[in-house]
C-alpha cells in the first residue's frame, strides 16, 4: 500500500495542480476542459512546454517522480514568463500552491516554452539558476519525502548491515517541519570538510509535523534523533536507527533476553543477534566459515579455546556443528547484576540489565502518573529535558517549575527503541525513552549495500539491492 502511494503521489499532486491552473491551459491555446481530465491534462501540459511524452513514465519511478514535479512546474513557469529568480524560488518552495495562486490572481500570458523564448540569459545565470533549483528541489525532497541514510554501526545486524544505504520515508509518520531552518544544505549538524556547526539558531520553530500515512507501530524500524545529544537542537541531533519494540502505553519487559510487551512475547526475527561463548578443542574457528556465515564481530576471549561471537541463532547452530567445537552458549546476564549504565540508572529502585529489564510502562501523551522519590529517576529527564520544565527534588517533595507536585501529565508520546544486535547496541536500555518530536522517519528500502570486509570487486551485496525493509 505504501509503495503504491510513493508511486502515484506525484502523479496525483500534478493532476490537482493542473485542475487549479486551468487558465494556463486556456492561455496556451488549449481547451479549458483539458485541465480537468486526469492524466490527459499532463499529456497536454507536456505539449504546452514541448517536452517529450516519455516524461509521463518518469512520474512512476520512485524518488525520480518527486523530482519530476519540479520539472513540470518550472517549465510551465518559463513558458509564461515567470522565470525571474524569486519567481522560480517561490515556484519550488511553494510548489503545490504557486501555480494555482497565479491562476486565480493574475492573467497569465503565454510566451512559449523555454526552448523557444527569445530572452537571453548569461551562462553564469543559467548555472546559478540550475544549481539553485537542484539544491531547493533536493532539500524539499529530503525534508518532506525521503532522505538517504547509511548504516554506520552494527547495532542492527543482521537485519541491517554496516554498509547498507537506505532511503528513509518521511511520509509514513508525517514530515517534521524543520525546527532549525537556518542550515547549510545537505549537512546535518557539522559542516563538511571544515567542521563546525552547519546551522544557526537565530530562528527556532516549535515542533510540528504534517499528517502521515500511519502511526509508529511495534516492530517498525525507525530513524530518530539521538535523545541524549541535548547540546544540539532536536532536529540536529545525530540520527540513530533501531527497532521500535514498545509504543506509548505498553508495558515493556525483557526476561532472559526475550522481549515481552503487555505480558506477551514479541516476535523473534531470525536476523536478531546475540553474543555467544564458543568453546573449541583449542583450535580457532576457520575464518572462511565465519565469513560464509557473515560473522564479523568477536574473537578470542583470552582464555584458551574460548571465543565470543555476535551471531544469529541459525549461525550459532551451524558453528556448533563444527568438528572442533565443544559447545556454544548464548550469554544471558544474571538478573542480580545491575549496572548503573542501564536506564534509569537507579539500581535501588530499578534493578535492570540488558537481558532482564522492566517491567516498565512507556509514557503516553495525556497520561498522568504519580511521581515520588522512588520513581523520579525514570521520569526526570522527560520532564526536564524533553518537555522543558524545571524540576527539583527537595526534602519535602518534588517541585516542577517551583510548584510542589506529586503527579505529572505527559505532553508527548514516547517509544522504546532497541537494536537487533541485542548485545552490541546502545539503545533505549541505556538512555531511555525516545520522544515523538525526535522521530525522523521509517526505514523504507535498501538501495545499495557495500561490504566493508570484502575486496573492491566483491564489495556489492547484490542480493540486498532495492530490498524493502520490513518491520
Q: Say whether pLDDT at 118 is over 70.
A: no
CB distance 443 to 217 below 8 Å? no
Q: What is the CATH code for 273-330? A: 3.30.70.80
Cα dihedral: 207, 239, 135, 183 (round 10):
60
Q: What is the mean pLDDT of residues 160-182?
A: 93
CB distance 470 to 219 below 8 Å? no
Share of the chain above pLDDT 70, in %: 96
The CA distance from 445 to 205, in Å, is 30
The CA distance from 408 to 265, in Å, is 30
> What pairs with residue 446 in β-bridges?
166, 467
CB distance 417 to 228 below 8 Å? no
Q: What is the mean pLDDT of residues 457-471?
A: 90
> What pairs with residue 261 in β-bridges?
252, 264
pLDDT at residue 2, as a whole number: 54
pLDDT at residue 10, as a whole number: 87
Q: Say whether pLDDT at 471 is over 70.
A: no
pLDDT bin (cut points 50, 70, 90) of residue 120 is low
The CA distance from 219 to 240, in Å, is 16
How far is C-alpha 457 from the chain's CA centre? Answer: 30
SS3 state of residue 106: coil
pLDDT bin (cut points 50, 70, 90) of residue 19 is very high
Q: Say whether pLDDT at 115 is over 70.
A: no
**Each residue of 330-365: pLDDT tens digit?**
999 999 888 888 999 999 999 999 999 999 999 999
Mean pLDDT of the chain: 91
**Predicted TM-score of the model (pTM):** 0.80
Q: What is the mean pLDDT of residues 426-440?
A: 97
The CA distance from 376 to 399, in Å, is 11
Q: What is the DSSP string of 278-309?
A: EEESSSPPPHHHHHHTT--SEEE-SSTTEEEE
Q: Which three cell numbers stand for residue 66?
A: 518527486
**Each residue of 367-404: pLDDT tens digit?**
999 999 999 999 999 999 999 999 999 999 999 999 99
Q: What is the mean pLDDT of residues 243-254?
A: 98
Q: What are phi and psi of 21, to 5 degrees?
A: -125, 35
87 or 428, which is more confident?
A: 428
The CA distance from 376 to 369, in Å, is 11
pLDDT bin (cut points 50, 70, 90) of residue 262 is very high
Break the chain into its structural domains and give their ranges: 2-144, 273-330
Among 247, 242, 170, 167, which residue's Cα sits nearest to residue 209?
Answer: 170
pLDDT at residue 84, as a whole number: 82
pLDDT at residue 363, as a whole number: 98
pLDDT bin (cut points 50, 70, 90) of residue 216 is very high
Amino acid at each position: 500500500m505504501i509503495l503504491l502511494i510513493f508511486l502515484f503521489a506525484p502523479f496525483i499532486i500534478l493532476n490537482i495542480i493542473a485542475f487549479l491552473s486551468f487558465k494556463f491551459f486556456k492561455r496556451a491555446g488549449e481547451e479549458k476542459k483539458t485541465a480537468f481530465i486526469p492524466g490527459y491534462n499532463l499529456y497536454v501540459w507536456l505539449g504546452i512546454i514541448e517536452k517529450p511524452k516519455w516524461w509521463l513514465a518518469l512520474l512512476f519511478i520512485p524518488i525520480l517522480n518527486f523530482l519530476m514535479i519540479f520539472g513540470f512546474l518550472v517549465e510551465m513557469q518559463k513558458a509564461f514568463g515567470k522565470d525571474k529568480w524569486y519567481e522560480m524560488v517561490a515556484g519550488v518552495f511553494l510548489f503545490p500552491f504557486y501555480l494555482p495562486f497565479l491562476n486565480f490572481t493574475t492573467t497569465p500570458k503565454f510566451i512559449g516554452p523555454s526552448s523557444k523564448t527569445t530572452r537571453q540569459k548569461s551562462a553564469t545565470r543559467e548555472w546559478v539558476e540550475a544549481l539553485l533549483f537542484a539544491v531547493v528541489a533536493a532539500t524539499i525532497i529530503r525534508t518532506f519525502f525521503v532522505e538517504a541514510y547509511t548504516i554506520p554501526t552494527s547495532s542492527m545486524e543482521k537485519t541491517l548491515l554496516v554498509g547498507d544505504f537506505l532511503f528513509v520515508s518521511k511520509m509514513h509518520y508525517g514530515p517534521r517541519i524543520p525546527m532549525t531552518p537556518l542550515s547549510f544544505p545537505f549537512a546535518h549538524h557539522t559542516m563538511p570538510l571544515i567542521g563546525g556547526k552547519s546551522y544557526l539558531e537565530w530562528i527556532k520553530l516549535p515542533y510540528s509535523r504534517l499528517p502521515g500515512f500511519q502511526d509508529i507501530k511495534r516492530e517498525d524500524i525507525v530513524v530518530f534523533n539521538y535523545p541524549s545529544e541535548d547540546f544540539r537542537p532536536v532536529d540536529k541531533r545525530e540520527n540513530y536507527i533501531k527497532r521500535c519494540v514498545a509504543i506509548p502505553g505498553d508495558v515493556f519487559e525483557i526476561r532472559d533476553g526475550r522481549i515481552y510487551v503487555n505480558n506477551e512475547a514479541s516476535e523473534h526475527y531470525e536476523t536478531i543477534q546475540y553474543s555467544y561463548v564458543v568453546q573449541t578443542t583449542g583450535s580457532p574457528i576457520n575464518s572462511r566459515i565465519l565469513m560464509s556465515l557473515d560473522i564479523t564481530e568477536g574473537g578470542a576471549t583470552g582464555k584458551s579455546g574460548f571465543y565470543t561471537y555476535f551471531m544469529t541463532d541459525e549461525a550459532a547452530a551451524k558453528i556448533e556443528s563444527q568438528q572442533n567445537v565443544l559447545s556454544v552458549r548464548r550469554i544471558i546476564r544474571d538478573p542480580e547484576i545491575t549496572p548503573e549504565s542501564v536506564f534509569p540508572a537507579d539500581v535501588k529502585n530499578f534493578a535492570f540489565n540488558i537481558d532482564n529489564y522492566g517491567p516498565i510502562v512507556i509514557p503516553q501523551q495525556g497520561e498522568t502518573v504519580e511521581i515520588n522519590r522512588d520513581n523520579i529517576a525514570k521520569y526526570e529527564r522527560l520532564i526536564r529535558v524533553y518537555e522543558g520544565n524545571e524540576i527539583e527534588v527537595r526534602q519535602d517533595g518534588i517541585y516542577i517549575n517551583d510548584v510542589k507536585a506529586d503527579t505529572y501529565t505527559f505532553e508527548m508520546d514516547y517509544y522504546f527503541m532497541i537494536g537487533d544486535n541485542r548485545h552490541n547496541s546502545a539503545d533505549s536500555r541505556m538512555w531511555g525513552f525516545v520522544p515523538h518530536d525526535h522521530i525522523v522517519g521509517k526505514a523504507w528500502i535498501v538501495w545499495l549495500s557495500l561490504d566493508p570486509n570484502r575486496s573492491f570487486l566483491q564489495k556489492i551485496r547484490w542480493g540486498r539491492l532495492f530490498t524493502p525493509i520490513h518491520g
